[in-house]
Amino acid sequence: MSLSLKLRQMLVSIFLLLFLLPSSFIAIDRAFYTQLLTSAEQKMEVHMYAILSELSVTEDKVELLNNALTPDFYRPDSGLSAYITHEQDLVWQSDSSLNQHFIPPIEALPPGEHLFRQVIQPSGSFWVLSISLLFDAEEYTRPLTVHIVQTNERLIAPQQTFRATLIQWFIGIGLMLLLLMLLAYYWTTKPLSRLDHEIRRVENGSQEQLNARYPAELSIIKEDLNLLLANQNRQKQRYRHHLSDLAHALKTPVAVLQTSALSQQPELKEQLDRITSMIEHQLKRAASSGQDVWKKQIEIKPRLEKLISALSKIYRDKNLAINIECAEHCAFRGDETDLMEILGNLMDNACKACQQQVTVTIKQSQHLMLCIEDDGPGVPQEKRQALFER
């Protein structure tokens, strides 16, 4: 079963909403985290240069001349600390590192090179900026490595705050987009609903053609449908006129035959009466077919009940039991004469062939199903095909 255009548009809108919003959220969140890392590295470089500007190095001692660092380097558990190592020995560390349990990495960096990376240790995750220096005096040469260390929690905290704000914004944006999609869905599908409504009005005979204004794509369909309806009406009119002309043309010769001496013969008289009846029937149908039959909705149950009442009187000697299984809404789209002719022929045959029981079942979904059963002997298998031969 093919999906409707409305359902397709709704599924595409939902897919875009569920795909674009999470993708945008992830992209913005990662971009913000990358910016946090860049900003953290730049701030750590500033701290690095502040330490280097106040660093005093002798052959047996390393110290800072002034308290030139920010308060975070003097406050324990601030998440920001500094270390200076000489080869594998720790020669200086900031006050904030006392409770940090961080072990400075032992790395051989070329003098003047710096390295920014993440270091994961049992005590936690850290971001470390290291620079290697070579202090060269007349009496000694001393290589040192300065490490600026920041805990990962200092990055996570602003990221979580930003993420919470971002979630609120995206919820609002998602609701706004959902509302806009619903409005766009209603706006774009409204012409389809209007076209469907007009087609139904044409079907039930409330109007002859499609009159509403439609977008360019649907206007072509509208014009084609109106052209089809007009051609169909013209063909039906020609058919009725030809049928009426034929019946009138036959009526006069038959009337002449009925007044002739040949009409006194029983067999010829019976056939002439039958031809006359058929001509009158076709003339009556042509005269009463002013409206297209497919536009009519003929309720079946009340007409079936009248027919059963008449047949029960005709076959009262059989004491018929006729059961009806028909919903109230079942309707025949066509001419009432055709419906009564179909029901009359089938019901009359069933009443003739049955012993006592006749069951009429009528169901309607996409199609109308008419089933008439009786408890008679039935038609032999080898003769059933002949029933459909004309």
Q: Is residue 154 part of a domain?
A: yes
- Residue from 258, 54, 244, 79 nearest 151 by CA: 79
Residue 318 is predicted with a pLDDT of 86
Is 12 in the same domain as 153? yes
Is 81 in the same domain as 29? yes
**Dist CA 237 CA 229 (whole Å):** 12
DSSP string, 107-137: --PPTT-EEEEEEEETTEEEEEEEEEEEEE-
Q: How many CB atoms lie within 10 A of CB 102?
A: 19
Residue 16 is predicted with a pLDDT of 84
**Where a domain ends, among 246, 275, 292?**
292
Q: How many CB atoms lie within 10 A of CB 215?
A: 11
Q: Is residue 381 part of a domain?
A: no
Residue 296 is predicted with a pLDDT of 65
**Dist CA 51 CA 210 (whole Å):** 85
- Which phi and psi angles does 14 have, rounded to 5°? -65, -40
Instruction: List, in sequence order, every residue forming a beta bridge with 117; answer none if it has no partner.
Output: 128
Is 253 in the same domain as 301? no
Residue 28 is predicted with a pLDDT of 93
Q: Which domain holds residue 338?
A: 296-376
Is 301 in the same domain as 287? no
Is 123 in the same domain as 55? yes
What is the number of residues in the chain?
A: 390
Q: Is residue 330 part of a domain?
A: yes
**Dist CA 111 CA 241 (whole Å):** 109
- Which phi and psi angles does 79 have, rounded to 5°? 85, 0
**Dist CA 37 CA 344 (whole Å):** 89
**Dist CA 326 CA 359 (whole Å):** 11
Is 18 in the same domain as 149? yes
User: Cβ(279)–Cβ(220) under 8 Å?
Assistant: no
**Dist CA 364 CA 360 (whole Å):** 14
The angle formed by the CA atoms of residues 353, 359 and 360, to the nearest 5 degrees, is 110
User: Which positions ≥6 away from 178 have C-beta within 8 Å?
Assistant: 17
Q: Is residue 206 part of a domain?
A: no
Q: Is residue 384 part of a domain?
A: no
Q: Is residue 192 part of a domain?
A: no
Is 148 in the same domain as 12? yes
Mean pLDDT by 10 residues, the chain (390 residues): 75 86 92 91 89 79 76 86 85 82 77 86 87 77 86 88 92 90 86 87 79 86 87 80 75 72 69 74 62 66 89 87 86 81 89 91 86 88 76
Q: What is the CATH number of the domain that holds 319?
A: 3.30.565.10
Residue 230, token pair as written in the block: 């007009």
- Which phi and psi angles does 346 have, rounded to 5°? -70, -45
- Which phi and psi angles does 129 have, rounded to 5°? -115, 120
User: Cβ(91)–Cβ(144) under 8 Å?
Assistant: yes
Local structure of residue 332 (DSSP, 8 states): E
